[in-house]
Amino acid sequence: MRFGYWMPIFGGWLRNVEQEDMTTDWSYVRDVAVQSEQLGFDLSLIAELNLNDIKGPQAPSLDAWTLAPAVAAVTQNLELMMAVRPNYHAPALTAKAISTLETIAPGRVSLNVVSSWWADEARQYGMPFDQHDDRYTRTEEWLSVVRRLLTEPVVDHAGALYQLSGTHLEPKPAQLPTVYMGGESPRAKQLISEKSDAYVMHGDPPEVIAAKIADLRARRETSGGAPMQFGMAAYVICRDTEEEAQAELARITDVQQSPQAYASYQDFVRGSQLESQVSLEEYSVSNRGLRPRLIGTPEQIAARIREYEAAGVDLLLLQFSPQLEEMRRFGQDVIPRFRA
């Protein structure tokens, strides 16, 4: 099992808790990144949203591609999973950014390719917003162009969305970045099985995750690709006693009818094709993070993680609040149980 976490670009993860003792200051993000390596975390997902969908559009949100080089400079081994949305990034310029990041952090750059869901954000930032299946058509062409630029000496491309003529890109990275993708619609699963290296899922119980993994493995075998990795998002509440953990769960899911959070929830549901409905209470934490039930004592959480290992998960993308304190608790009390 590899352990990853969401970089705190939003200053918190809880929609019902206004003050989480976290900030978007660089000093805080730096301390999270440095501490995470010391604790044994393998990877950080640096999400990309120009608007804050946790605390509301008026709240701060850091830019992933500006933050990444700074994080790379203060870490040594941490994999940087860069979220990227093709409708916001020209493929040639993204390939150039990857090439440059690889000179700062060789072998540590990977991509979380996300087909955008937030229509209002695209309108505010003046970017194109595709309808659902069209997003994956864009993503497929975008990925093809990026991969060619990172591997071929000269690229000519005349596609439906992108055109390049005699394009050079140097330096080339020593290896292609791992491509992580998520999605639950039929079109998304088709593209993921054919073009990605890893499937990342929202949180769900082990039996649901096992079925999703079996489905993607079968699709992958049909497409003839190499074996995939499988990751899952989850929110952790680790305490000395189960009673303390349950009290914290009750606190963070106490819905206060925040107008900003509820508006974001409605936009998310309208813009996605999900296999199961997300309740407003579950939306208190993003990415269905409470469904895995990584809640309880270190022993209980480790046992639950073993169930996900058995289901086929080999990467957890975790959220904590407050980040520094709760990551430290998890790193000291849970991660060592999975290291030789």
- Residue 287, pLDDT > 90, answer no
Element (H, E) at 196: none
CB 143 within 8 A of CB 113: yes
The pTM assigned to this predicted structure is 0.91
Is residue 258 within 8 A of residue 264, CB to CB? The reply is no
- 136, 128 Cβ separation under 8 angstroms: no
- Concatenating the DSSP letter of every residue in 59-93 gives S----HHHHHHHHHHT-SS-EEEEEE-GGGS-HHH
Is the per-residue pLDDT at 273 higher than 70?
A: no
- Residue 54: name the closest of 66, 62, 65 by CA: 62
> Cβ(205)–Cβ(292) under 8 Å?
yes
Confidence tier at 19 by pLDDT (50, 70, 90): confident
Q: For residue range 148-202, what is the model confidence (pLDDT) as tens digits?
A: 999 999 999 999 999 999 999 999 999 999 999 999 999 999 999 999 999 999 9
pLDDT of residue 253: 85
The answer to whether the CB of 22 falls within 8 A of the CB of 12 is: yes
Over the Cα atoms of the chain, what is R_g? 19
Element (H, E) at 39: helix 26-39
Full DSSP string of 49-65: -SS-TTT-TTS----HH
Beta bridge partners of 316: 3, 232
**Packing angle of the helix pair 26-39, 323-333 (nearest 10 deg):** 0
Is residue 257 scored above 50 in pLDDT?
A: no
Q: Cα–Cα distance between 222 and 84 in angstroms, integer?
A: 27
Domains (range + CATH), the chain: 2-339 (3.20.20.30)
pLDDT band at 254 (very low <50, low <70, confident <90, very high): confident
Q: Do residues 312 and 221 make contact, with C-beta atoms less than 8 angstroms apart?
A: no
What is the pLDDT at residue 159? 97
* Interval 57-91: pLDDT, tens: 999 999 999 999 999 999 999 999 999 999 999 99
Show the CA angle centred on residue 329, arms to residues 324 and 330, nearest 5°. 100
Which phi and psi angles does 157 have, rounded to 5°? -145, 125
pLDDT at 260 > cutoff 80: no
Tell me the one-letter amino acid at 106. Answer: P
Answer whether 235's CB lies under 8 Å from 289's CB.
yes
